[in-house]
Amino acid sequence: MPSTEIKNICCIGAGYVGGPTMSVIADKCPHLHIHVVDIDEQRIKAWNSKNLQDLPIYEPGLDEKIKKCRDINLYFSTEIEKNISNADMVFISVNTPTKTKGIGAGKASDLKWVEACARQVSKYASGHTIVVEKSTLPVKTAEVIKIILEDAQLNSQNSKTTFDVLSNPEFLAEGSAIEDLENPDRVLIGGENIEAINLLSEIYLNWVAEEKILHTNIWSSELAKLTSNAFLAQRISSINSISAICEATGADVREVSRAIGSDSRIGSKFLDSGPGFGGSCFKKDILNLVYLCEYFGLPEVAKFWEEVIEINKWHQHRISKLIVKKLFGTVSGKKISILGFAFKANTNDTRESAAIVICKDLIEEGALLSIHDPKVDKYQIEKDLGIKLNLNEESKSEDHSYKSKGGWTYAPSIKKSLIGADASIILTEWNEYGNIDWNMAKKIMRSPSWIFDARSILIPEKVKNAGLNLWRIGDGSN
């Protein structure tokens, strides 16, 4: 039986979801004690760092929450055992990467971490514990967690250990996580035991209106999360495919977006054409959906969703190819400034960023990239590209040894990235890129210079009036 009150919460996984989610719950529910645990000691150390600039993830407004709640009712540690044992409610918020080998490789999610967490909970929990799955998971994962916990219950010496499993997928988007958590469109809770559902609902009721808290069965909840991401990604693939037709026909994708978005049945959000969607969820969740469809004998449905990913891949390479074409068919030995490496603005997350694909393509063509991003550090870029940093831009590039084969340097400022560049490509919509002084850029770049605005954040006249060539995504006048 669930206890009548939740006091202690443990969240396993201090990542982009677990960290912000628990910070907001701690802020809204000062009566709760929340312990966020992780196996990664470095990450926990960063969450506990005195200087709030050193938190492991960048998310607007997160530092304020941490400042207010940390060590008051929000704690970060590696003490997994103890905190599971004390908890009335355990959130599982670990990552679920796509399987790289075995059955379902390349598509299905690897549930090894979720399974490991369920085993930890079954081993260390005491009394009645409500287990809440927060990670995005294939449909019927809650069942796996339940089986592990029930098995533990059967074999336990301590007959007082009991469990309930709920699915409570998180819909926050990175870069606006705190805002999304504070004002969610809905909170979804899937489960069987109404008492457990009510106890979780009570937490959200501290700041979310009752009508926004939806109760479903556990599988609808799991499937709703996958479907939600698949629909959002599908919209982006749809508009990106139209951007290519716009460029070919003289239409303008912004005008098309505005026109179709004014139809209240379609709506205006998620219709910005860009360099292709990235992030840790869209691709992974669609692949999961594809795998499930194949598993349940629905190959036509699988093919339908797979195409959303295929178009995204095609679109990213399409951008690299047209850059090469515009630069007289070759980028070999040319300096190209890359503005933005994160998969979207206001985050330091680079997972599945379109910038990774486009930068790799250009390096392969022999380009010398000078990469700038206000929040992504050079070690992360090096890891993502799998190519060693040639030179730090600050150390000045007198060493030309790498110039014949292509490579990249890290630019500590926009200006350093632009000096001597033949082209600049905007890949992330950071605000500061919208305010670049293009007259200054014209003076320091090599002529004829090109600006490629893959995010549609520039005012075309400002760029063109400075004497620069401009290409914009989905612009038929390019």
Q: Which residues are catalytic?
A: 281
State the nearest-atom distance from the C-beta of 276 to ligand UDX, in Å. Answer: 7
96 binds ligand UDX (CB under 6 A): yes
- Closest-by-Cβ residue to ligand UDX is 15
**Bridge partner residues of 452 (DSSP):** 425, 471
- The DSSP secondary-structure symbol of 136 reads -
Question: Of 60, 77, 85, 171, which lies in the binding site for ligand UDX, with binding defined by CB under 6 A?
Answer: 171
The pair of three-digit structure tokens given for residue 115, joined into one six-digit string = 């399974």
Please report whether residue 93 would count as binding ligand UDX according to CB under 6 A. Answer: yes
In terms of CB distance, is 224 or 421 closer to ligand UDX? 224
- Sheet containing strand 74-77, edge to edge, reads 74-77, 33-37, 8-12, 89-92, 128-133, 162-167, 187-190, 213-216
When asked if residue 46 is in the footprint of ligand UDX (CB under 6 A), the reply is: no
191 binds ligand UDX (CB under 6 A): no
Among 27, 59, 88, 272, binds ligand UDX (CB under 6 A): 272
Nearer to ligand UDX, 13 or 406 (CB): 13
- Contacts of 414-417 with C-beta under 8 Å, sequence gap 24+, read 414/339, 414/372, 415/440, 415/444, 416/370, 416/372, 417/337, 417/338, 417/339, 417/370, 417/371, 417/372, 417/393
User: Does residue 23 belong to the site contacting ligand UDX (CB under 6 A)?
Assistant: no
Neighbour-count burial for 375-409, b at 16+ CB within 10 Å, e otherwise: bbebebbeebbebebbbebeeebeeeeebeebbbb
Decide: is 131 part of the binding site for ligand UDX (CB under 6 A). no
Tell which one of 27, 164, 174, 361 touches ligand UDX (CB under 6 A): 174
Nearest-5° Cα angle at 169, 167 to 173? 175
Tokens of 22: 């628990």
For residue 230, which phi and psi values (nearest 5 degrees)? -65, -40
Q: Which token pair is 464?
A: 């063109």
Q: How many Cβ atoms are within 10 Å of 427's Cβ, its own excluded?
A: 29
373 binds ligand UDX (CB under 6 A): no
Give Cα 477 to chain centroid, integer Å: 32
Q: At 256, phi and psi to the nearest 5?
A: -65, -45
Q: Does 454 bind ligand UDX (CB under 6 A)?
A: no
374 binds ligand UDX (CB under 6 A): no
Q: Smaller CB distance to ligand UDX: residue 121 or 470?
A: 121
The least distance separating ligand UDX from the CB of residue 335, rounded to whole angstroms, comes to 26
Q: Which residue in the set 236, 358, 381, 385 belongs to the binding site for ligand UDX (CB under 6 A)?
A: 236
Closest distance between ligand UDX and the C-beta of residue 247, in Å?
A: 16
DSSP 116: H
- By CB under 6 A, tell whether 271 contacts ligand UDX: yes
As a whole number of angstroms, the distance between CA 292 and CA 107 comes to 9
Q: For ligand UDX, which stretch binds (CB under 6 A), given 32-40, 199-207, 286-294, 322-330?
A: 32-40
280 binds ligand UDX (CB under 6 A): yes
Q: Report in angstroms how near the CB of residue 293 gets to ligand UDX at its nearest.
A: 19
Given 191, 279, 340, 374, the residue binding ligand UDX (CB under 6 A): 279
Minimum CB separation of residue 379 from ligand UDX in Å reads 16
Question: Is position 342 an interface residue for ligand UDX (rule: CB under 6 A)?
Answer: no
Q: Contacting ligand UDX (CB under 6 A), which of 163, 343, 433, 471?
A: 343
Q: Which two tokens stand for residue 321?
A: 């190819």
Helix, strand, coil share of the chain (percent; to 5)? 45, 15, 40
Q: How far is the CB of 163 from ligand UDX (least distance, A)?
A: 18
Q: How far is the CB of 5 from ligand UDX (least distance, A)?
A: 27
With CB under 6 A as the contact rule, the residue among 214, 232, 251, 260 that binds ligand UDX is 232
**Residue 395 token pair:** 């150390």
**274 binds ligand UDX, rule: CB under 6 A:** yes
Q: For residues 152 and 119, what is the distance between their CA atoms, to the nearest angstrom?
A: 8
Residues that bind ligand UDX (CB under 6 A): 12-18, 38-40, 43, 93-96, 113, 116-117, 134-136, 170-174, 229, 232, 236, 270-272, 274, 277-282, 284, 343-344
